[in-house]
């Protein structure tokens, strides 16, 4: 799990965008580890497992006054008070004017974020930092056997790429001790078949996927054509695929006719806005070294994979985090809730206002992130994140999630929301978890597994789009000008101006599947033209999912 600290900006409860680095380790937004051997628990509590959580903050679902009263009472017993409540877009829901049934459904799963601070009325001059986990157990003891209210409050988890800070994307892809420096780097009879071609502390296994030449992020040339579309720009039907990730950078494959960057709902961005000259523009958030961030280009790479699998898809690129991959569950929930609001408005035929064209419904949502929950064996363990995903599934949206990159069968969420058997509840489209395959069709060594991982797609050494604006501070090791004035050079490891790269991770297997699903949905829309009520869309998407092979063909 991520253990980066989450800082605050401008005194608000939830920063306007995920922080890059730093924060106050003693403050209300430090990220702490939950140790099951020392953690407080109620007598009825199921077994708990290690996880990370944001100190000083809790997530609260719904508007039940009894829930909020019990939470405030538990905080008061610990000497704390609720300081701020961030509605995570609740004001937009209240102003949207949704149909009553839609508003009621979304309100039931809507989550807010609360921060807690020491009670200023208490006379104690010395206090202990808030143990959010202990406060949560105190709240649950108060509500007793009421499972509904017990699950209304939960920890805020940091969420990351495949449950690691980075999806096999070492920030220095050429930093093994001897990557290209053998005594005879290009004259050995077998220049790339040394028994130990990369002598890092872990030359084999998982770490090998991080090395350039073995699936790690590196620039490459692309000689093929752009994915060929068969529909005219703006034609309908056309599947809409949402990518919640690092944003989508500049690339000739990813123009306005194929991508909507930073989509909004009722004038508010669903994710975080791009900073001028930063993020997917430069790829580096470090103004001192200029090196590419570990996840820089992640969203652009994913968008290119979707386009390869479904050239006619329209992609909505929601920017959820910076290139360092840091994001908290509150930011993820806010984006999902606003996306659900936009989707419901689309189903009602509404747009930003009466003069604008209506929003378009979402068909597929691609998520390449996750975290490990502390109580995965408890049936009511995490309804806060599951709520908006189930709501979207009930209205025809298929959420496709990366299985995770930790080579474990420990449930990684939201991937592990996928049904263990079949397609689950017939009234909604299920969450789909996707594991990664090597180019030879074997399962990638890093890929998580478990009964919730039903589908497998290529996820190692894939080629896709990278922002053409990326050229980090690293440079080719050898550069010379010969007697004819020609510049000769070795490879520049972080110059992606050619627009393409190689990368590995279940982060990329998921959008391959998402693109395939979008393509099959398009074929079904064109051939069958079935009804478009939510129930009909659900059944149509479930029927298409049932035809998807468990293991996809090699690209």
Which range (235-244, 330-339, 396-405) has the least confidence?
A: 235-244
Dist CA 147 CA 145 (whole Å): 6
pLDDT at position 18 is 45
Q: Say what percent of the chain tops pLDDT 90.
A: 52
pLDDT at position 452 is 94
Cis peptide before 414 (omega within 30 of 0): yes
- Count other C-beta atoms under 10 Å from residue 181's C-beta: 9
Q: Are residues 349 and 487 in the same domain?
A: yes
Q: Say what percent of the chain tops pLDDT 70.
A: 81
Q: Is 489:476 a contact under the CB 8 Å cutoff?
A: yes
Q: Is residue 197 part of a domain?
A: no
Q: Is the model's pLDDT at 108 over the cut of 90?
A: yes
Q: Is 107 helix (H, G, I), strand (E, B) or coil?
A: helix
Question: What would the pLDDT profile of 225-245 be if each residue is shown by its tens digit?
Answer: 999 988 876 666 789 999 999
How many domains are there within the chain?
2
Question: What would the pLDDT profile of 426-442 be if each residue is shown by its tens digit?
Answer: 999 999 999 999 999 99
Looking at 128, 156, 184, the residue that finishes a domain is: 156
Backbone φ, ψ for residue 540 (5° rounding): -65, -45
Question: What mean pLDDT, rounded, does the chain reach?
Answer: 82
Which range (188-202, 216-230, 257-271) has the least confidence?
A: 188-202
Q: Is 263:436 a contact under the CB 8 Å cutoff?
A: no
Which range (26-35, 138-147, 198-207) has the least confidence?
A: 198-207
pLDDT at position 474 is 86
Q: Are residues 282 and 404 in the same domain?
A: yes
pTM of the entire predicted model? 0.87
Q: Is residue 232 part of a domain?
A: no
Looking at 156, 177, 192, the residue that finishes a domain is: 156
Q: Are residues 340 and 457 in the same domain?
A: yes
Q: Is residue 195 part of a domain?
A: no
Q: Which of 295, 287, 249, 356 is nearest to 508 (CA)?
A: 295
Q: Are residues 111 and 243 in the same domain?
A: no
Q: Are residues 243 and 152 in the same domain?
A: no
**Mean pLDDT, to the nearest integer, of 314-335?**
90
| Containing structural domain, residue 37 | 31-156
- Quote the crossing angle between the two packed helices 298-309 and 506-528, to the nearest 10°: 30
pLDDT at position 37 is 78
Strand segments, DSSP code E, in 350-397 are 364-367
Looking at 106, 128, 156, the residue that finishes a domain is: 156
CATH of the domain at 57: 3.30.70
Q: Is residue 20 part of a domain?
A: no
Q: Is residue 555 part of a domain?
A: no
Q: Is 402:509 a contact under the CB 8 Å cutoff?
A: yes
pLDDT at position 200 is 39
Hey, what are 7's tokens? 């800082």
Q: Which of 388, 365, 371 is nearest to 513 (CA)?
A: 365
pLDDT at position 353 is 83
Q: Is the model's pLDDT at 103 over the cut of 70?
A: yes
Q: Is residue 196 part of a domain?
A: no
Q: Which residues, at least 6 apart from 215, have a Cβ–Cβ distance to it below 8 Å?
A: 168, 208, 209, 460, 461, 502, 503, 504
Q: Is 344:102 a contact under the CB 8 Å cutoff?
A: yes
Q: Is residue 249 part of a domain?
A: yes
Q: Is the model's pLDDT at 53 over the cut of 60?
A: yes
């Amino acid at each position: 799990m991520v253990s980066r600290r989450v800082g605050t900006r401008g005194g608000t409860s939830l920063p306007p965008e995920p922080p890059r680095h730093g924060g106050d380790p003693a403050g209300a937004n430090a990220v702490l580890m939950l140790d099951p051997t020392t953690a407080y628990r109620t007598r009825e509590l199921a077994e708990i497992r290690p996880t990370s959580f944001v100190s000083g903050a809790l997530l609260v679902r719904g508007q039940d006054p009894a829930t909020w009263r019990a939470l405030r009472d538990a905080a008061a017993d610990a000497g704390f008070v609720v300081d701020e409540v961030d509605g995570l877009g609740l004001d937009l829901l209240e102003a949207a004017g949704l149909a009553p049934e839609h508003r009621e459904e979304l309100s039931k799963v809507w989550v807010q974020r609360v921060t807690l601070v020491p009670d200023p009325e208490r006379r104690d001059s010395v206090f202990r930092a808030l143990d959010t986990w202990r406060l949560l157990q105190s709240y649950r003891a108060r509500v007793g056997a009421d499972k509904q209210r017990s699950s209304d409050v939960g920890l805020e988890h940091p969420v990351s790429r495949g449950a690691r800070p980075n999806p096999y994307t070492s920030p220095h892809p050429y930093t093994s001790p001897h990557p290209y420096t053998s005594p005879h780097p290009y004259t050995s009879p077998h220049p790339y078949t040394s028994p130990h071609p990369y002598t890092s502390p872990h030359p084999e296994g998982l770490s090998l996927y991080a090395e350039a030449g073995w699936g790690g992020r590196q620039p490459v040339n692309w000689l093929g054509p752009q994915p060929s579309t068969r529909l005219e720009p703006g034609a309908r039907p056309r599947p809409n695929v949402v990518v919640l990730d690092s944003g989508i950078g500049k690339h000739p494959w990813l123009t306005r006719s194929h991508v909507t960057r930073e989509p909004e709902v009722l004038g508010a961005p669903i994710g975080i806005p791009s900073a001028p000259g930063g993020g997917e523009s430069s790829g580096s958030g470090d103004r001192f070294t200029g090196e590419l961030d570990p996840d820089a280009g992640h969203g652009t790479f994913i968008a290119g994979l979707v386009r390869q699998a479904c050239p006619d898809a329209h992609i909505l690129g929601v920017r959820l985090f910076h290139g360092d991959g840091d994001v908290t569950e509150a930011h993820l929930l806010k984006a999902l809730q606003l996306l659900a609001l936009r989707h419901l408005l689309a189903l009602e035929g509404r747009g930003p206002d009466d003069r604008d064209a209506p929003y378009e419904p979402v068909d597929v949502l691609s998520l390449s992130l996750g975290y490990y929950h502390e109580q995965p064996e408890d049936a009511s363990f995490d309804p806060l994140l599951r709520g908006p995903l189930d709501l979207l599934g009930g209205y025809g949206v298929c959420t496709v999630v990366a299985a995770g990159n930790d080579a474990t069968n420990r449930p990684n969420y939201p991937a592990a929301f996928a049904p263990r058997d079949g397609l689950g509840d017939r009234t909604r489209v299920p969450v789909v978890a996707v594991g990664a395959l090597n180019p030879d069709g074997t399962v990638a060594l890093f890929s998580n597994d478990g009964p919730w991982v039903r589908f497998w797609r290529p996820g190692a050494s894939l080629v896709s789009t990278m922002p053409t604006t990326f050229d980090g501070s690293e440079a080719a090791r050898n550069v010379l000008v010969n007697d004819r004035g020609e510049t000769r050079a070795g490879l520049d490891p972080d110059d992606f101006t050619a627009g393409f790269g190689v990368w590995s991770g279940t982060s990329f297997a998921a959008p391959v599947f998402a693109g395939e699903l979008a393509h099959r949905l398009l074929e079904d829309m064109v051939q069958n033209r079935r009804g478009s009520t939510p129930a009909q869309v659900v059944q149509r998407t479930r029927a298409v999912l049932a035809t998807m092979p468990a293991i996809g063909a090699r690209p």
